[in-house]
Amino acid sequence: MFRIEESFDTQILKAQKDRPVVVFIEPLDARVLEAVCHLTRYVKPVLLAGEDEVRETAVRCLSHLDRSRVEYSLSECAFLKIAERPDLVEAFATDCLSHPKCRNEASDLEEARLALSSPGLFGIYAVHLGHADMVVGGATHSPRQFFRPMLALLANRAVLCEVGVFVLPDDFPDGHYPQNIVVFGDVGVNAVMTPEVLAEVAVGTCAAARDLIPEDVLPEIHGAIVSYSHRGSDEGPSPDTVRRAIELVPDLLAKRVTTAQRYASIRITGEVKFSAAISRRSAELYGMNGLSGGTNVIISPNLETGNLLYHLYAARFPTAKKFPVMFGVAFRGVDLAIDCTPEDVRLAVKASVLRLQRDGRWSRTPKDTFFRRHRVLVINPGSTSTKIAVFEGDQETFSREIQHTSEELAPFAGRRITEQYDLRKDAVLRVLGEFGLTVDDLDAVCGRGGLLRPLPHGTYRVGQAILDDLRSGVGGDHASNLGALIAHELASPSGKPAFIVDPVVVDEAPSRVKVTGFKDIRRRVISHALNQVASARRYAQESETFYEKVNVIVCHLGGGISIGAHRLGRYIDANNGLDGEGPFTPERSGSLPQGQLAELCFSGRYTHAQIKRLIKGEGGLMALLGTSDLREVERRIDAGDAWAAEVFDALAYQVAKSAAALLPAFEGRKIDSIILTGGMARSKALVDLLTHYLSGMPCGITVYAGENEMVALAKGALRVLYEKEEPREYVVAETAAV
Confidence check: pLDDT of 264 > 50? yes
pLDDT of residue 619: 93
- Average pLDDT, rounded, for the chain: 91
- Residue 301, pLDDT > 80, answer no
Comparing CA positions, the residue from 348, 326, 307, 305 lying closest to residue 161 is 326
Cβ(169)–Cβ(273) under 8 Å? no
Residue 277 has pLDDT above 60, yes or no: no
pLDDT for res 233:
46
The answer to whether 468 touches 730, Cβ cutoff 8 Å, is no
| pLDDT at residue 314, rounded to an integer | 83
Closest CA to 461 of 721, 173, 138, 104: 721
3-state secondary structure of 398: strand
Lowest mean pLDDT among 443-457, 530-544, 577-591: 577-591
Q: In what order do the strands lie in the sheet with 181-186?
A: 266-272, 221-226, 297-300, 181-186, 161-167, 321-327
**What is the share, in percent, of the chain residues with pLDDT greater than 70?**
93
pLDDT-based confidence at residue 230 (cuts at 50, 70, 90): very low
Tabulate helix, strand, coil % of the chain (nearest 5).
45, 15, 40
- pLDDT score, position 734: 56
Residue 282 has pLDDT above 70, yes or no: no
For the chain, domains (ranges, CATH) are 4-154 (3.40.50.10950), 161-328 (3.40.50.10750), 374-508 (3.30.420.40), 529-706 (3.30.420.40)
Q: Using one digit for the tens of pLDDT, what is the confidence trace for 577-591?
A: 878 799 999 999 999
CB 485 within 8 A of CB 449: no
pLDDT at 177: 83
**pLDDT value at residue 313:** 82
Helix (H) or strand (E) holding 307: helix 303-316
Res. 188: pLDDT tops 60:
yes
If we measure between CA atoms, which residue out of 72, 96, 80, 98 comes closest to residue 27?
80
User: How far apart (Å, rounded) are the C-alpha atoms in residues 239 and 226?
Assistant: 9
The mean pLDDT of 35-39, rounded to a whole number, is: 97
Q: What is the pLDDT of residue 24?
A: 98
User: How sure is the predictor about 673, in pLDDT bands with cuts at 50, 70 and 90?
Assistant: very high
- pTM above the 0.85 mark? yes
Asked if residue 310 has pLDDT above 60, the reply is: yes
Q: What is the mean pLDDT of residues 461-488?
A: 93
CA–CA separation, 510 vs 571, rounded Å?
Answer: 10
What's the rounded mean pLDDT across residues 255-283? Answer: 75
Query: One-letter amino acid identity for 548?
Result: E
Please give the pLDDT value at position 280.
53
Question: What is the Cα 205 distance to its own chain's centre?
Answer: 28
pLDDT at 54: 98
222-236, 447-461, 652-666: segment of lowest average pLDDT: 222-236
Query: What percentage of the chain has pLDDT greater than the value 90?
Result: 76
The string of DSSP codes covering 29-73 is SHHHHHHHTTTTTT-EEEESS-HHHHHHHHHHH-TTS-HHHHHHH
pLDDT at 38: 97
Kindly tell me if the per-residue pLDDT of 175 is higher than 70.
no
Residue 101 has pLDDT above 80, yes or no: no
Whether the predicted pLDDT of 682 surpasses 90? yes
Confidence class of residue 275 from pLDDT cuts 50, 70 and 90? low
**pLDDT band (50, 70, 90) for residue 276:** low
How confident is the model at residue 278, as a pLDDT? 53
Is the pLDDT reported for residue 665 higher than 90? Answer: yes
pLDDT for res 580: 78
Going by pLDDT thresholds of 50, 70 and 90, the confidence category of residue 735 is low
Band (pLDDT 50/70/90 cuts) for residue 55 is very high
Cβ-contact 309, 164 below 8 angstroms? yes
Pairing of strands 444-448, 498-501: parallel
The whole-number pLDDT of residue 174 equals: 67
Residue 365, CA distances (Å) to 24, 45, 120, 132, 154 in order: 16, 12, 20, 6, 15
